[in-house]
A and B are shown apart, each in its own frame.
Chain A
Amino acid sequence: MKQSIYTIIKNEPLTSAVYRMVLAGDTSAITKAGQFINIKLEGLFLRRPISVCDYDEKTITILYKIVGKGTAAMEKMPPQTHLDVLTGLGNGYDTAKSGSAPLLIGGGVGVPPMYRLAKELLAQGKIPTIILGFNTKEEAFYVEEFTQLGVKVMVATADGSLGTKGFVTDIVKTLSEYTYFYTCGPEPMLKALSACTLTSGQLSFEERMGCGFGACMGCSCATKYGNKRICKEGPILEKEEILW
């Protein structure tokens, strides 16, 4: 973990509620896809944890949905605004277990970490298939960005306005030739995926956090292998250890 000051260089809407923010600064603490950052916002006591969508030597890209006071404040921040951020938080996805053809399944605000993960897997010579789930076509984002990575992308929308009508699980159930799965999204989706997938996999969980770096025990979760802190030993848990 590192604490540092970052400069917003881009803050733009992708849909009516989802925004992309690019932060410039020290990214050396980030080591894996699936990790998150924790942002201090003026006037709010607790920091706001947001998953990393992508990063390079100088920038961090996050995609956030406006859901409360924190994200509403972020939406109004112009470029050049400085932010106090903790980076390199959480365990991140373990790509060593992926096999040659893993599924990456992102639902709604769970889509962002899949982007970096897809890039890492591709760099390792693996062939990931991406499944993205949204409520409607209007709410869909990053479909084009994933496609540009040169991977197979399938989309499910609840109202059928884009791709398959239904949920990501409706697509997953039609597939059998995958070696592993990685996912992030709402908990009902994670639970459904845990039940319908044919392989092992890693799932990213959300919980209200106090600190985001393991000090307060605010986000504990009981697993088959003992208590884990979602912010420290998580947010990624393996399918086999989860107690639903």
Chain B
Amino acid sequence: MVNTKVTLSSILLDNPVIPASGTFGYGYEFAELYDINILGSFSFKGTTKEPRFGNPTPRIAECINGMINSVGLQNPGIEKVISEELPKMRKVFHKPVIANISGFSVEEYAYCAEKINNEAQVGMIEVNVSCPNVHHGGMSFGTTPEGVAEVTRAVKAVTTKPVYVKLSPNVTDIVSIAKACAEAGADGISLINTLMGMRIDLKTHKPVIANKMGGFSGAAIFPVAVRMVYQVYEAVRLPIIGMGGVSTAEDVVEMMLAGATAVQVGAANLVEPFACKQIIEELPSVMKKYGINALSDIIGGAHK
């Protein structure tokens, strides 16, 4: 018997597989397909202080081995997430969830973190400083060490839950950003968010996405994600949730070798609704194939 358990900031996960925020809603659609309690955890739809409709449509564009999205943080706002979605989520998922929060000012991040802090269901907070879709939003915080540090400190000051800062790959030096999070008291790092991308329609000569640009995700970005997880693992002594193009159990192993303690699966859920279930089911045989007895033994294995 192989051991798939990992520990993330003292939360024991049955396996490292976690659907990424924005690709799994609040879990309901997937709970109709399979028992989502097989997941290590899941990171629910990014939440802001106020309700948001998000960006105009079209919000989606096809790419080779990936897609661009420009949803723009559509969500009902933190109050409704707590009063309506969390109780519904509790019925389909019985493990601690990851609350993904976003904001347009340091105060908004702190507001959301403080509100969610009392919810026993929430195991940890994932702070999105990198959503590339909102003009005046997260991007500015996520692209400078000062910005991420300020948000991290503000969130840490109002919550007792582990705080994971989710980083944008659209920066010149991911290591300096990760170090700034660590120094500001982050409990862990999530990376990578989507890469800024764009497609243009040859028939209309116009961008496919209404907002012109969006976040590129899917299998195509996996090597970029592995590289950044590897770099951040070398630079900071914090647990890492690795993500970006993960689609198979082999990808999970590779991401963990690069330095991830847990792994999120994003775009794959949208085109293959059973992606996480299949990855979890395939993990033991992939581990056996590569002589891995316990997944927790291989975290950062590529650095030795």
| A contact set with B: CB distance below 8 Å | 1, 3, 40, 44-47, 69, 86, 207-211, 213-222, 227, 232
* Distance from A10 Cβ to chain B, minimum over Cβ atoms (Å): 26
Interface on chain A toward B: helix, strand, loop, or mixed SS?
loop
* Distance from A233 Cβ to chain B, minimum over Cβ atoms (Å): 12
A217 to B53, CA, bound (A): 10
- Of the residues A1, A45, A208, contact of B57 by C-beta under 8 Å: A208
* Distance from B19 Cβ to chain A, minimum over Cβ atoms (Å): 9
Please tell me if the beta carbons of B273 and A3 are within 8 angstroms of each other in the complex. yes
Please tell me if the beta carbons of A40 and B271 are within 8 angstroms of each other in the complex. yes
Please tell me if the beta carbons of B62 and A44 are within 8 angstroms of each other in the complex. yes
A47 to B62, CA, bound (A): 10
Please tell me if the beta carbons of A216 and B270 are within 8 angstroms of each other in the complex. yes
Please tell me if the beta carbons of A217 and B74 are within 8 angstroms of each other in the complex. yes
- With contact pairs A45-B66, A210-B69, A210-B270 given, residues A215 and B60 touching in the complex (Cβ less than 8 Å): no
B104: CB under 8 A from chain A? no
A45 to B24, CA, bound (A): 17
Please tell me if the beta carbons of B274 and A3 are within 8 angstroms of each other in the complex. yes
Residue contacts A-B, CB under 8 angstroms, 17 given = A3-B274, A45-B63, A45-B66, A47-B271, A210-B60, A214-B29, A215-B25, A216-B22, A216-B23, A217-B22, A217-B25, A217-B71, A217-B74, A218-B57, A220-B53, A227-B53, A227-B74
B120: CB under 8 A from chain A? no
- Of the residues A40, A213, A214, A219, contact of B60 by C-beta under 8 Å: A219
B64: CB under 8 A from chain A? yes
The A-contacting residues of B in range 227-280, CB under 8 angstroms, are: 267, 269-274
Chain A residues whose C-beta falls within 8 Å of the C-beta of B274 in the assembled complex: 3
A221 to B53, CA, bound (A): 9
* Distance from A91 Cβ to chain B, minimum over Cβ atoms (Å): 14
Nearest-CB residue, chain A, relative to B51: A227
A222 to B57, CA, bound (A): 11
A69 to B269, CA, bound (A): 22
Please tell me if the beta carbons of A208 and B270 are within 8 angstroms of each other in the complex. no
- With contact pairs A40-B271, A210-B69, A211-B270 given, residues A217 and B45 touching in the complex (Cβ less than 8 Å): yes
A207 to B64, CA, bound (A): 20
> For the side of the interface on B, what is the size category?
35 or more
A47 to B267, CA, bound (A): 12
* Distance from B24 Cβ to chain A, minimum over Cβ atoms (Å): 6
B1: CB under 8 A from chain A? no
- Of the residues A1, A3, A69, A215, contact of B270 by C-beta under 8 Å: A215
- Of the residues A1, A46, A208, A215, contact of B23 by C-beta under 8 Å: A215
Q: List 16 additional contacts besides A3-B33, A46-B62, A210-B60; criterion CB under 8 Å.
A: A1-B33, A3-B274, A44-B62, A45-B271, A47-B271, A209-B60, A210-B69, A214-B25, A215-B24, A216-B69, A216-B270, A217-B22, A217-B74, A219-B59, A221-B57, A227-B53
- Of the residues A44, A211, A232, contact of B273 by C-beta under 8 Å: A211
The A-contacting residues of B in range 19-54, CB under 8 angstroms, are: 22-25, 28-30, 32-33, 45, 53-54
* Distance from B275 Cβ to chain A, minimum over Cβ atoms (Å): 11
Residues 185-197 of chain B, each 1 if its beta carbon lies under 8 Å from chain A, else 0: 0000000000000
Chain B residues whose C-beta falls within 8 Å of the C-beta of A214 in the assembled complex: 25, 28-29
- Of the residues B57, B60, B74, contact of A46 by C-beta under 8 Å: B60
Chain B residues whose C-beta falls within 8 Å of the C-beta of A209 in the assembled complex: 60
A45 to B218, CA, bound (A): 8
Nearest-CB residue, chain A, relative to B52: A227
Chain A residues whose C-beta falls within 8 Å of the C-beta of B25 in the assembled complex: 214-217
A209 to B28, CA, bound (A): 18
Nearest-CB residue, chain B, relative to A221: B57
B148: CB under 8 A from chain A? no
Chain A residues whose C-beta falls within 8 Å of the C-beta of B270 in the assembled complex: 46, 210-211, 215-216
Please tell me if the beta carbons of B273 and A46 are within 8 angstroms of each other in the complex. no
- With contact pairs A3-B273, A40-B271, A216-B270 given, residues A46 and B29 touching in the complex (Cβ less than 8 Å): no
- Of the residues B62, B71, B208, contact of A216 by C-beta under 8 Å: B71
